[in-house]
Amino acid sequence: MRFRKDRKAARAEMDMTSGPLLPKILSFSGPLILTGILQLLYNAADVIVVGNFAGHEALAAVSSTGSLINLLVNVFMGLSVGASVVVARNYGARDIIAMRKAEHTAITVALFMGIGVGIFGFLAARPLLQMMESPEDVIDGAALYVRIYFLGMPANMLYNFGAAILRAVGDTKRPLYYLMISGLVNVLLNLLLVIVFHMSVAGVAIATVASQVVSMVLVLFCLIRTHGVIHLSLPECRVDGKSLREIIRIGLPAGLQGSLFSISNVLIQSSVNSFGSLVVAGNGVASNIEGFVYTAMNAQHQADMTFASQNYGAGKPDRVRKTLWCCLGTVTVIGLVMGLSFYALGKPLMSLYNSDERVIANGLIRMGVILPTYFLCGQMDVMVGQLRGIGYSVMPMIVSLTGACLLRIVWILTVFAANHDLVTLYLSYPVSWFVTFAAHMACYLAVEKKALGKISQTV
């Protein structure tokens, strides 16, 4: 099957199987970092606007929903990871027919999953927040935010799957441009709906959904208009059984892993909720700030997974190995430099979100524990990306269940129960990151020779 590739498509795609590795990794991850930072800036706009113009109760309502949303969404978003790996591997192997079947299967699945998850999240919002013991002065606003957010879930799913397909062939720039446009829509609607129309939490949620619809339209339009191997043809959108099995084999464990992390984070959020709305607000702001460090580190995870997948498909084990060590080095530098810098600027950064000294003080407690050790989280994620890139997805899920999720739950039920303070609660994060990273590294070293020995040195 042959496709005409225009110059724009040729420039956007990247051959990860030849040439200097580190410069290409940085070129790939740079737009991803900017994309993630822009997403967080737009999310920060939600929090800043509602925190400054609607009070700390509304701020706590918006801030307290993240762990619940992630719990409901991550298992399905994990399938976008599977789609990205399968597309990248077939792209590296130059198996265009299999790649296109995977692409059209992914888009079809994204649509139906988005509808299903949206309905469930809308109906289950308040009961789940009650199970998390959301404070009485927060739960009404939080439930409203979650319900409106889940109305936009089909758009959210389609954008993420579409962007995953673009990343699989090395195109990280166009998703960045689309996010700039949709994010601007989000910010303008935030200002209009919250400040002018006084819609508080509802205004923030509506602005978020509108921006997701814009980003979905842009990424689908890109795939449809692109001339080349990733051209999306709507009549071809159907589920191919073999492609779906491969996507599920890699993506479902990734999604379960994300949801398992979310379960432990929901438990931590429930523990935070027990301290009251001021602590919930401070925790939410600190988490939002930490997200800027995480998204920069997560770009290295995405780079590792994509480069490992393409080179695995191309039969180049040496480049698969070098990818891991390059990404471990870059993620450590990014985590340390950004984490320590943000920690040093903690109070002025917190004050951008809310001027209440009590909220700021509570947020600084979290930042003091998380940010200096955040590079461990980045190292852990890179190891997960490497294992997924070479076809192991169940293993990192099991390791994460044991090393991170189960350990955090045990920590909360034992150490935190014996010493009920915020520092003890937050220490569950760096402890679990270190243990899980070490376990992932041990597993990778155990399977590396077997996995890479299967592939040929020639393309």
Chain segment 299-338, per-residue pLDDT in tens: 999 899 999 988 988 889 999 999 999 999 999 999 999 9
Is position 251 within any domain? Answer: yes
Residue 458 has pLDDT above 50, yes or no: no
In a domain, 236, yes or no: yes
Alpha-carbon gap, residue 400 to 439, rounded angstroms: 9
Per-residue pLDDT tens digits for 247-272: 998 888 877 777 766 677 777 878 88
Range of lowest pLDDT (33-42, 111-120, 352-361): 33-42
In this predicted structure, what is the pLDDT of residue 291?
86
The token pair at 128 is 């789940």
The winner for highest mean pLDDT among 45-54, 77-86, 236-245, 444-453 is: 236-245
CA 29 to chain centroid, in Å, comes to 14
Q: What share of the chain is helix, strand, coil (3-state, %, to 5)?
A: 85, 0, 15
Q: What is the mean pLDDT of residues 218-246?
A: 92
Q: How confident is the model at residue 283 (pLDDT cuts 50, 70, 90)?
A: confident
Q: What is the pTM (predicted TM-score) of this model? A: 0.75
For the chain, the domain total comes to: 1
Quote the CA–CA distance of 440 and 152 in Å, as a whole number: 35
Tokens in use for 186?
Answer: 């989000």
257 within some domain: yes
Count CB atoms within 10 A of the CB of residue 413: 11
Task: Give a yes or no: residue 325 inside a domain.
Answer: yes
Q: Tell me how far CA of residue 334 lies from CA of 206, 285, 339, 389, in angstroms.
A: 34, 21, 8, 22
User: For tokens 């692109």, what's the residue?
Assistant: 226
| Average pLDDT along the chain | 87
- State mean pLDDT over 85-99: 90
Classify residue 372: in a domain, yes or no. yes
Residue 211 belongs to a domain: yes
Residue 458, in any domain of the structure: no
12 located within any domain: no
Is it the case that residue 7 has pLDDT exceeding 60? no
Amino acid at 367: M
**Domain of 362?**
19-451
User: What pLDDT score does 10 carry?
Assistant: 54
Can you tell me the mean pLDDT for 454-458? 54
